[in-house]
């Protein structure tokens, strides 16, 4: 007997109509991942204008859903997934930690509104510093851990893969690589697990070349900030968030590195940290745990210390 399809319409809301939120909305439209896409911002007219602009691309993209611009959280009611991009972006000379105090206040207010209208939504947090902001959302919302996840490793791993592909002049889609840990200078791009078409990169690149790629990955966001002067990365972060949202909305069971709440996995407790997870209709459905080499475990511990420092600064 044929299985019945779940025809319930899907709703995606994006909080924050800045560069990252707008990019996420555009990628969501391009991929047609939800029947309704809501773009919300507190700046009067901003989300309305951007949503209208996106709506006018629908004949070109082939998107047949509804695109809503709003400053009213009631319009986000009963969302399946909510991407949170609200907050201040980094400027040159500013670390992710510098953002923490101001963005904690913003994210607290955003989360309180979300909970009122979408208590069953999965929340994808993009706001920096991500590992502290996702912890803030988790604590303020009171949601179960599987419903709250941070976008970090998807972006960092994409940067890692892009730099490897560039160095080897190969298709980026043929590069497999994983970045774990904090979304910051202490992130852990795993070298021994990185490969091109199944061939380990350690067989294809010199130690110096690999070290350069790892360092560039760790400072990938700062490099873009230095170029832009008055802003930070937006296109890749927006797509990374949509990649996660799509896996949840379509129950794809994608294995992606995300900031998930750890309770003993990899010997770590009580923090959100970038690890490989399975994303499905319930959010974080499981964490894929595997043995780390001693140097990898040591590097991951540095990530834990950095995140704990950030979390302590939130006051939650």
- Residue ranges with strand state E in 31-85: 36-40, 66-70, 81-84
With 90 as the cut, is the pLDDT of residue 21 above it? yes
Rounded to a whole number of angstroms, the CA Rg of the chain reads 19
Percentage of residues of the chain with pLDDT beyond 90? 85
Q: What is the mean pLDDT of residues 148-177?
A: 97
- For 153, half-sphere exposure in the C-beta direction (CA atoms, 13 angstrom radius) is 25
Side by side, which strands form the sheet with 148-150? 66-70, 36-40, 11-15, 81-84, 122-125, 148-150, 254-263, 269-280, 283-287
Asked whether the beta carbons of 300 and 276 are under 8 A apart, the reply is no
What's 6's DSSP letter? -
With 50 as the cut, is the pLDDT of residue 2 above it? no
**pLDDT for res 137:** 98
Q: How far apart are CA 172 and CA 160, in angstroms?
A: 10
**pLDDT for res 3:** 43
186 is catalytic: no
Mean pLDDT of all residues in the chain?
A: 94
34-61 pLDDT per residue, tens: 999 999 999 999 999 999 999 999 999 9
Cα of first residue to Cα of last residue in the chain, in angstroms, is 51
Phi and psi, residue 272, nearest 5°: -90, 130
Of 156, 109, 112, the C-alpha closest to 130 is 156
Q: What is the mean pLDDT of residues 104-125?
A: 97
Asked whether the beta carbons of 278 and 285 are under 8 A apart, the reply is yes
Q: How far apart are CA 263 and CA 272, in angstroms?
A: 9
Q: How far apart are CA 28 and CA 58, in angstroms?
A: 11
193-213 pLDDT per residue, tens: 999 999 999 999 999 999 999
With 50 as the cut, is the pLDDT of residue 4 above it? no
Q: How far apart are CA 305 and CA 7, in angstroms?
A: 45
Q: Is the peptide bond before 129 cis (omega within 30 degrees of 0)?
A: yes
Of 161, 200, 152, the C-alpha closest to 180 is 152
What CATH code would you report for 11-150? 3.40.50.720
Q: Tell me the pTM.
A: 0.94
CATH class (in words) of the domain with range 153-314 = alpha beta
pLDDT tier for residue 316 given thresholds of 50, 70 and 90: confident
pLDDT tier for residue 100 given thresholds of 50, 70 and 90: confident
pLDDT tier for residue 179 given thresholds of 50, 70 and 90: very high
* Helices 46-55 and 19-31: angle between axes, nearest 10 degrees: 30
With 60 as the cut, is the pLDDT of residue 12 above it? yes
Pairwise pLDDT comparison (282 vs 93), residue with the higher score: 282
Report the C-alpha dihedral over residues 51, 231, 153, 235, rounded to 10 degrees.
40
Q: How far apart are CA 252 and CA 62, in angstroms?
A: 22
pLDDT tier for residue 152 given thresholds of 50, 70 and 90: confident
Report the C-alpha dihedral over residues 105, 264, 287, 119, rounded to 10 degrees.
-40
Cβ neighbours of 197 (radius 10 Å): 10
Which of 48, 146, 183, 219 is the catalytic position? 183
Q: What is the mean pLDDT of residues 263-271?
A: 96
Task: Label residue 176 exposed, middle or buried (CB < 10 Å: 0-12, 13-18, 19+).
Answer: middle
Which segments of the chain belong to CATH 3.90.110.10? 153-314
Q: What is the mean pLDDT of residues 165-191?
A: 95
Which segments of the chain belong to CATH 3.40.50.720? 11-150
């Amino acid at each position: 007997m044929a299985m019945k399809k779940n025809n319930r319409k899907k709703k995606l809301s994006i909080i924050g109509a800045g560069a990252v939120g707008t990019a996420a909305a555009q990628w969501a439209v391009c991929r047609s991942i939800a029947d309704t896409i809501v773009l919300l911002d507190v700046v009067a007219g901003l989300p309305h204008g951007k949503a209208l602009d996106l709506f006018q691309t629908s004949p070109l993209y082939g998107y047949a859903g509804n695109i809503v611009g709003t400053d009213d959280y009631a319009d986000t009611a009963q969302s399946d997934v909510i991407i949170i991009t609200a907050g201040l972006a980094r400027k040159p000379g500013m670390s992710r930690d510098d953002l923490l105090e101001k963005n904690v206040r913003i994210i607290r207010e955003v989360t309180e509104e979300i909970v009122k209208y979408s208590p069953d939504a999965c929340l994808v947090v993009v706001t920096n510093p991500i590992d502290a902001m996702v912890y803030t959302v988790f604590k303020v919302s009171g949601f179960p851990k599987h419903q709250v996840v941070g976008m970090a490793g998807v972006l960092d791993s994409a940067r890692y893969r892009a730099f490897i592909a560039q160095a080897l002049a190969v298709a980026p889609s043929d590069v497999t690589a994983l970045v774990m840990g904090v979304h910051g200078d202490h992130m852990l791009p795993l070298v021994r697990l990185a490969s091109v078409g199944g061939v380990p990169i350690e067989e294809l690149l010199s130690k110096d070349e690999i070290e350069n790629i790892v360092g560039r990955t760790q400072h990938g966001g700062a490099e873009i900030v230095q170029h832009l002067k008055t802003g930070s990365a937006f296109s890749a972060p927006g797509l990374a968030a949509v990649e996660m949202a799509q896996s949840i909305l379509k129950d794809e069971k994608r294995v992606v590195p995300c900031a998930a709440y750890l309770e003993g996995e990899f010997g770590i407790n009580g923090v959100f940290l970038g690890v490989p997870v399975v994303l499905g209709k319930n959010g974080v459905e499981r964490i894929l745990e595997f043995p780390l080499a001693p140097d990898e475990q040591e590097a991951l511990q540095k990530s834990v210390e950095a995140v704990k420092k950030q979390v302590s600064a939130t006051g939650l």
